[in-house]
Amino acid sequence: MRYISTRGGMDPVRFREAVIIGQAPDGGLLLPEFLPDVSSDLEGWRGLAFEDLAFEVVRLFADDIDDAVLKKILKDAFETFACEDRVPLVQLDGLNVLELFHGPTLAFKDVALQVLGGLFEHILGGQTGRLNILGATSGDTGSAAIAAVRGRPNIDIFVLFPEGRTSLMQELQMTTVLDDNVHCLGIDGTFDDCQELMKSIFNDLAFKEKYRLGAVNSVNWARVVVQVVYYIYAALKFKEPVSFSVPTGNFGNVFAGYLARSMGVPIDRLVLATNKNDILARFFETGIYARGTVQHTLSPSMDIQVASNFERFLYLYFNGDSERLVEFLETFHERGSANVDHVDSVEPLFLATSVGEEETVETIKSTYAAHGYVLDPHSAVGVAAASRFKLTSPLISLATAHPAKFPDAVNEAIGQEVATHAELERLVSQATRKTVLAADEHAVKNYLTENAR
Ligand SMILES: *Cc1c(COP(=O)(O)O)cnc(C)c1O
């Protein structure tokens, strides 16, 4: 399988290289040259354990990785999950929840990042190479990336987070990891400052090359592929086509569902659920992609205005016409808004809607009252969004975080201390390490120069 750039300016590369480069040199995102059709494999995959299904799916895209090696990477990745079933489907009366949060940092990003960590180590090991990962996080991605690469011999990770602006639990999930190769950098600024710093350092190509800087953000193709697996896994638990409700920000998770359906998995509809940051919901309603200002919500991991994975969808929507895609992106960049011609033909598979704060709280409350089940605020956005549509197929709501990661919102909604997790409570008494830096490119570069290996 070979990978091309959405912007058309890159010679095709194979999977191993796609994983390491993350993003194409022309600024585009990587996509496979074609999507395999798995419809005739599905019956045979029914009943497979999650990692065995992951092996069958990922190998289609990673055909330059030895089967035995891939099996081992997947086995090691999912052994870090606290649940035998890895991603259990909880079936309540009238509500199906696919719990994706049983990995080490209790959010769905562990599913793909645990695999990515193993892939990095294997691919680099073969080249006796090193990689210095630089990432910016508002909370969840940083801890999941750290958990994925801690202690790996040929990787260092540097995570920029806004000092004092993540939740206590999110910070502790990063700073209590004391492995030598983990560097937590509290930046005196906002999450946007962290992202800007990361971007400008990556834009210094000489610096990037010299220190072999790599990225783990959600545009890495390997992350998308691993996420395809749980859509198939859950769909195979039903005899008829199913629908999914997906709380989304960067369009990463829901894009994986779109791919699964394009590969022949019987998916009826995908509910695209955003919080108040509704750029994606507006696009699918109106055909207009228009930037707003980021609003802070109870579901902070979806507080995003420009969805980094959306470019992949647009490329497929424009039938692989990179010129049209680039024109769209340039218009958006210049005017803050761009649109497609025919709203009606924007993928009818998606049912997109935006859920406000009050309804999120109300959904946490009513779900607890009806089912005794505790949703985190992100998962609640998905459940609330789905309830707005009349679906004829069974619905599966994706639960993207454990409620204990967001205890304030959850406990307040329910009126009891229900959002707890022993693993998180244990962190409070542990030793921590971090370095606080000014929101200044030179300060961060100096730190990297002194600490990168
Ligand atoms: C990252 C994240 C999301 C959004 O995922 P996307 O891939 O950006 O759509 C939703 N919920 C939680 C808990 C997250 O950490």
CB 444 within 8 A of CB 185: yes
Joined together, the tokens standing for residue 320 give 């692989």
- Please answer whether residues 274 and 352 qualify as being in contact, where contact means their C-beta atoms are separated by less than 8 angstroms: yes
Tell me the C-alpha distance between 40 and 309, whole Å. Answer: 28
Which ligand 1 atom is nearest residue 218's CA? 7
Residue 127 CA to ligand 1 center (angstroms) comes to 32
The Cα–Cα gap between 96 and 175 comes to 35
Tokens of 123: 């691919």
Band of pLDDT at residue 304, cut at 50, 70 and 90: confident
Distance 68 CA to ligand 1 centre (A): 31
CA distance 143 to 175: 9
Q: Which residue is closest in CA terms to ligand 1's atom 2?
A: 301
How far, in Å, is the centroid of ligand 1 from the Cα of 93? 26
Question: CA-to-CA distance for 409 and 377, rounded, in angstroms?
Answer: 7
Quote the ligand 1 centre to 435 CA distance (angstroms).
26
Percent of the chain topping pLDDT 70: 98
- Atom of ligand 1 at shortest range from CA of 139: 15
pLDDT at 54 over 90: yes
Residue 109: active-site member: yes
Angle CA 339–285–377, to nearest 5 = 115
* Residue 310 to residues 2, 129, 320, 334, Cα–Cα distance (Å): 21, 31, 14, 18
Question: Ligand 1 centre and the CA of 102: distance in Å?
Answer: 15
Count of Cβ atoms closer than 10 Å to residue 185 Cβ: 24
Q: Could you give the CA distance from residue 405 to residue 343 in angstroms, rounded to a whole number?
A: 38
Structure tokens at 164: 């004092």
Ligand 1 residue neighbourhood (C-beta within 6 Å):
107-109, 140, 218, 247-254, 301-302, 378, 400-401
State how beta strands 131-136 and 155-162 pair. Answer: parallel
CA distances 114 to 131, 143, 212, 363, Å, are: 16, 11, 21, 31
Contact 151, 179 (CB under 8 A): yes
In the predicted structure, residue 343 carries a pLDDT above the cut 70: no
Mean pLDDT of 360-388: 97
| pLDDT given for residue 210 in this prediction | 92
Task: With a cut of 70, say whether residue 346 has pLDDT above it.
Answer: no
Contacts of 181 (CB under 8 A, 6+ apart): 149, 150, 151, 152, 153, 155, 156, 157
Cα 408 to ligand 1 centre (Å): 19
378 CA: nearest ligand 1 atom:
11
Q: Return the pLDDT at 374.
A: 98
Range of lowest pLDDT (1-15, 171-185, 300-314, 413-427): 300-314
Residue 34 lies in a domain: no
Give 141-180 pLDDT, tens digit per residue. 999 999 999 999 899 999 999 999 888 889 999 999 999 9
- Minimum CA distance residue for ligand 1 atom 1: 301
Least confident interval from 108-122, 148-162, 284-298: 284-298
Residue 250 near residue 307 (C-beta atoms within 8 A): yes
Tell me which of 137, 378, 379 to substitute to probe ligand 1's pocket, judged by most ligand atoms within 8 Å of the beta carbon: 378
For residue 168, tell me if it sits in a domain: no
Nearest ligand 1 atom to alpha carbon 307: 8
pLDDT in tens, 255-264: 999 999 999 9
Total tally of structural domains belonging to the chain: 1
Among residues 109, 199, 210, 239, which one is catalytic? 109
8 A C-beta contact, residue 301 and residue 294: no
- Asked if 87 and 54 count as a contact pair (C-beta separation under 8 A), the reply is no
Determine, yes or no, domain membership for 194. Answer: no
pLDDT at 63: 97
Q: In what order do the strands lie in the sheet with 267-274?
A: 89-92, 95-99, 395-399, 242-247, 267-274, 350-354
What six digits make up the tokens of 113? Answer: 């990042």
The whole model's pTM is what?
0.95
* 369 belongs to a structural domain: yes
**Which pLDDT band, with edges at 50, 70 and 90, does 308 fall under?**
confident
Q: How many CB atoms lie within 10 A of CB 128?
A: 7
For the CA of 252, the nearest atom of ligand 1: 7
Whether residue 48 is predicted with pLDDT greater than 90 in this model: the reply is: yes
Averaged pLDDT, 120-141: 86
pLDDT for position 27? 87
Residue at 83 is within a domain: no
324 found inside a domain: yes
* Token pair 């294997």: residue: 122
User: From atom 9 of ligand 1, which residue's Cα is the shortest distance away?
Assistant: 248
78 neighbors 114 (Cβ within 8 angstroms)? yes
Q: Which of 111, 170, 173, 250 to mutate to test the pocket of ligand 1 (most atoms within 8 A of CB)?
A: 250
- Identify any residues that bridge with 174 across adjacent strands, giving them in sequence order: none
pLDDT in tens, 215-253: 887 789 999 999 999 999 999 999 999 999 999 988 999
CA of 451 to the centre of ligand 1 (A): 30
Residue 143 token pair: 């801890």
CA 232 to CA 53: how far, in whole Å?
8
Which residues lie closer than 8 Å to 100 by C-beta, 6 or more apart?
87, 107, 108, 111, 230, 398, 399, 400
For strands 182-188 and 435-438, give the pairing.
parallel
Q: What 3-state class would DSSP assign to 97? A: strand
> What are residue 272's DSSP bridge partners?
246, 352
Question: What's the whole-number mean pLDDT along residues 327-354?
Answer: 87
Q: Tens of pLDDT along 398-440? A: 999 999 999 999 999 999 999 999 989 999 999 999 999 999 9
pLDDT bracket for residue 2 (50, 70, 90): very high
Nearest protein Cα to ligand 1, atom 11: 400
CATH code of residue 271:
3.40.50.1100
Calculate the dihedral angle through the C-alpha atoms of 74, 77, 82, 85, rounding to the nearest 10 degrees. -20
> Rounded distance, CA 155 to CA 132, Å?
6
Tokens of 222: 């390997």
Nearest atom in ligand 1 to the alpha carbon of residue 379 is 11
Residues in the chain: 453
* Residue among 253, 284, 305, 364 to mutate when testing ligand 1 (max atoms within 8 A of CB): 253
- 297 CA to middle of ligand 1, Å? 13
Residue nearest (by alpha carbon) to ligand 1 atom 8 = 250
Q: How far is the CA of 124 from the centre of ligand 1 (A)?
A: 28
Q: Which helix (H) or strand (E) holds 349?
A: none
What is the 3-class SS of 386-402, one letter each residue? HCCCCCCCCEEEEECEC
Is 195 a domain residue?
no
Domain membership of residue 407 as a residue range: 89-105+221-420
Per residue in 77-94, pLDDT (tens digit) is 999 999 999 999 999 998
In angstroms, what is the C-alpha Rg of the chain? 21
The burial class, CB within 10 Å (0-12 / 13-18 / 19+), for 256 is buried
Among 100, 221, 223, 248, name the best residue to mutate to test ligand 1's pocket (greatest count of ligand atoms within 8 A of Cβ).
248
Pairing outcome for strands 267-274 and 182-188: unpaired
Q: Examine residue 268 and state whether it is found in any structural domain, yes or no.
A: yes
To test the pocket of ligand 1, the residue of 272, 400, 406 to mutate (highest count of ligand atoms within 8 Å of its CB) is: 400
Name the residue with tokens 């704060």: 357
Mean pLDDT of the 262-282 span: 96
Atom of ligand 1 nearest to the CA of 227: 7
